[in-house]
Amino acid sequence: MRFLTDRYEYVTMPETWRPRILRNLRADFCAKSAWYYGTATRLRCLRALLSEGTACTCLFRLASLLHRCHLGFVAAVVVKMNSLLTGATIGAGAEIGPGLAICHTGAVVIYTRARLGTNVIIQSGVTIGVEKGRAPVLGDNVFVGTGAKVIGGIRVGNGVRIGANAVVVKDVPDGATAVGVPAKLIAGRGPGG
Ligand SMILES: CC(C)(COP(=O)(O)OP(=O)(O)OC[C@H]1O[C@@H](n2cnc3c(N)ncnc32)[C@H](O)[C@@H]1OP(=O)(O)O)[C@@H](O)C(=O)NCCC(=O)NCCS
């Protein structure tokens, strides 16, 4: 599996079979390690485990598992715990692929019907929220900068970068960089999918 570094380059890590929650968590730690340290070795992944935002990812994965097992009430309790302990509100029903890296937890909100692909990097203060009952779909290898809001039934393509404090209310094509309020596309140094 490929993980994005903060230089918008990729590092790879071999895949092994594990139950889904463990596979997702391993990929989450690797993604974070790649983002912070530019590599996803075992030691670095362990270090990433201790960094801020990881507790929030773990609690979300647990809530998501409980939700899939039709234990909605227990899942809701875990979501509440996550919100109290880490300040992040991530709905148990949100579908988020492996390699989720939440770098800082403050005020992260991900609506329960949002769908995020693999290797999505989320900075602090990000909202991925609903508008008129519809939630966004984010592709793979997407970076969402600090304070950005992605709202409504829009599609954000693969390899997209969303700048700090951007408000994204329209579709963003693959590989694009979107900044500003409302977000506009710029020519940036994108990861290219
Ligand atoms: C969007 C982003 C990824 C683009 O990076 P980049 O490809 O290196 O782009 P550049 O820095 O070369 O900027 C290109 C243009 O976009 C503008 N721009 C960049 N980021 C912007 C933002 N968040 N909002 C508005 N304009 C922005 C620059 O001013 C520049 O404009 P110019 O061509 O008129 O001078 C980056 O600027 C960003 O916002 N990163 C978020 C980082 C973050 O959240 N860090 C949190 C750590 S805790």
Q: Quick one: which H or E segment has residue 43?
A: helix 42-49
- Along the 193 residues of the chain, how does pLDDT read in single tens digits? 777 877 777 777 666 656 778 889 989 999 999 999 888 788 888 888 888 889 999 999 999 999 999 999 999 999 999 999 999 999 999 999 999 999 987 789 999 999 999 999 999 999 999 999 999 999 999 999 999 999 999 999 999 999 999 999 999 999 999 999 999 999 866 554 4
Question: Could you give the count of Cα atoms lying within 13 Å of 83 in the half-sphere of its Cβ?
Answer: 14
What pLDDT was estimated at residue 166?
97
What pLDDT was estimated at residue 192?
45
Q: Beta partners for 149? A: 127, 167
In angstroms, the CA 30 to CA 12 distance is: 9
Say if ligand 1 is within 6 A of residue 186 CB.
Answer: yes
In angstroms, the CA 188 to CA 193 distance is: 13
Full-model pTM: 0.89
Say if ligand 1 is within 6 A of residue 146 CB.
Answer: yes
Question: Which atom of ligand 1 is found nearest the CA of 148?
Answer: 44
Strand, coil or helix: 172: strand
In angstroms, the CA 120 to CA 124 distance is: 13
Ligand 1 centroid vs 18 CA: distance in angstroms? 38
